[in-house]
Amino acid sequence: MTDNPWQLTKAQLDLQARARRLAEEVIAPRAAAVDASEEYPWDNVAALQENGFTGMTVPVDLGGLGHSLLDAGLVVEEMAKVCGVTGRIAVETNMGAISAVLAYGTPDQRAMAAEMVLAGDKPAICITEPDAGSAASLMTTRADRREDRFVLNGMKHWITGGGVSKLYLIFARAFDEQGEELGIGGFLAIRDVTRGLSFGRREPTMGLRGLPEMEVLFENMEVGPEMVVMPPSGFRHGFADLMNAYNSQRVGAGTVALGIAAGAFERAVAFAKEREQFGRPIAEFQGLQWMLADMSTQLEAARSLTYRAACSRGHGADGPGTSPFPDATLAAQAKIFTAEASIKIVSDALQVFGAAGYSRRNELERMYRDVRMFTIGGGTAQILRTVVASRVLDQKLPQTRDGYV
Ligand code: FAD
Ligand code: COA
């Protein structure tokens, strides 16, 4: 294997090396404690921020460095190799809700969001509701127009960072003053500032425990026009525009899974060379050699697809390749493949460790729990297959019993 199969530029290799150093020296030693304490790692956030790894994608005119998604992904991957939680934080300060605001927001909204992520905030994206998970377009959180303002009522759950994130991008169904539905829009709220925004129960999650997964509640939460993120083609096509922006976070999620798998693989290789049975290193047994070969192959395929998705541009206003976001199909394919491959790779890496892998003293146990979520959060592997199938077949594939009414 060449050292630089992706032909990363010198600047990208330097960025990757800096991220790796921070991950190994600062983030890795804290990872077990973050998992055990289940507390948001503010010190890791500060370390990311001090190193310029938050708000990386903020354009230069807003005070950022205008890094590409691939640049941000290189950092995410290094963090995730040692700490999935920090990898996810790196995703959400650089992609996701921030991508939507930077692309669709007013100049003031863009400046506000840029300032927040550059200062280390991880904006939360609020889509999922108890009765609208995969069927996100059936959300019932509503935003009723009152003159130039909107009043939001409803609730979301499984919101990553609820209560610790400062900025919230909320998807809600908008209605005019006569109660006529306008479509789905994005509404911004700020913790401790926007009245009517509050937080409910925290989910006791299997993995990624340093990140709170919260219920977020909106009770007569009033927002002025300055907090409405108007999708380019208005509310009517707002859901599609917002989901389009969400493709960058899907690539980010795949990158975290990739990083966790790469970290598990490195540990398995090192252990296989060192652990002896039958008087020989276990790496000398063909049974394990083939497992390691398969893990490496899956990893390279996952990395290629993820990087390719990160470099892609979807269908934008001026035709194919002009969207500011990754291509929807590639983003879905990358997340399906990488999530499923990573779960298998981490499971196999744990197997290489034998009983030691099953112990909570071992990092593999944490990585196994952490990586499991990536076929669920951010669009399940099943629903993403419908996204891909719809594009492969070039037809709408309504999942409701009656199709579109
Ligand atoms: P359901 O939609 O109820 O699905 C249940 C099962 O049915 C799944 O296996 C699913 O694949 C399958 N299924 C459903 N519909 C179909 C279909 N049409 N065809 C085939 N199979 C189908 N949401 C946010 O808005 N913001 C966040 O920050 C966020 N963070 C998350 C973090 C974590 C750790 C997790 C686990 C979830 C997070 N989510 C977040 C929620 C996540 O996006 C949803 O869990 C996901 O969209 C699936 O919804 P659901 O859990 O309600 O499952
Ligand atoms: N990128 C770009 N456009 C997208 C998109 C994506 N990822 N997902 C949907 N759209 C567009 C569709 O092309 C369609 O546009 P059109 O009206 O111009 O044809 C529109 O949004 C509605 O999509 P459709 O698939 O017809 O919607 P649906 O009502 O059947 O809902 C989804 C299906 C989109 C909700 C489902 O596929 C999905 O992604 N669920 C997971 C939600 C999720 O990821 N939650 C994560 C929260 S963190």
Per-residue pLDDT reduced to its tens digit, 84-94 = 999 999 999 99
Q: Which CATH architecture has domain 124-235?
A: Beta Barrel (2.40)
290's enclosing H/E stretch is helix 286-311
58 contacts 64 by C-beta, under 8 angstroms: yes
Over the stretch 68-77, which tens digit does the pLDDT of each residue have? 999 999 999 9
Q: Which ranges in the chain are annotated with CATH 2.40.110.10? A: 124-235
| CATH class of the domain whose range is 238-392 | mainly alpha
Quick check: CB of 377 below 6 Å from ligand 1?
Answer: yes
d(CA 384, ligand 2 centre) in Å: 9
pLDDT of residue 404: 62
- Looking at every residue in the chain, the average pLDDT score rounds to 96
Higher pLDDT, 304 or 322: 304
Would you say the pTM of this structure is higher than 0.95?
A: yes
150 contacts 182 by C-beta, under 8 angstroms: no
pLDDT of residue 366: 98
Ligand nearest to the CA of 246: 2
| CATH class of the domain whose range is 10-118 | mainly alpha
Strand 280-281 relative to strand 276-277: parallel, antiparallel, unpaired? antiparallel
Testing ligand 2's pocket by substitution, the residue of 137, 156, 235, 335 carrying the most ligand atoms inside 8 A of its CB is: 137
Quick check: CB of 331 below 6 Å from ligand 1?
Answer: no
pLDDT of residue 1: 54
Testing ligand 1's pocket by substitution, the residue of 122, 140, 158, 256 carrying the most ligand atoms inside 8 A of its CB is: 158
Residue 231 confidence class, pLDDT cut points 50, 70, 90: confident
Q: Which ranges in the chain are annotated with CATH 1.10.540.10? A: 10-118
Residue 318 confidence class, pLDDT cut points 50, 70, 90: confident
pLDDT of residue 153: 98
pLDDT of residue 315: 83
Residue 364 confidence class, pLDDT cut points 50, 70, 90: very high
Q: What is the mean pLDDT of residues 140-159?
A: 98
Q: What is the mean pLDDT of residues 228-236?
A: 92
CA distance 330 to 392: 11
Over the stretch 272-298, which tens digit does the pLDDT of each residue have? 999 999 999 999 999 999 999 999 999
d(CA 16, ligand 1 centre) in Å: 32
Q: Which ranges in the chain are annotated with CATH 1.20.140.10? A: 238-392
Joined tokens for residue 315: 């269908």
Joined tokens for residue 401: 């019993």
Quick check: CB of 111 below 6 Å from ligand 1?
Answer: no
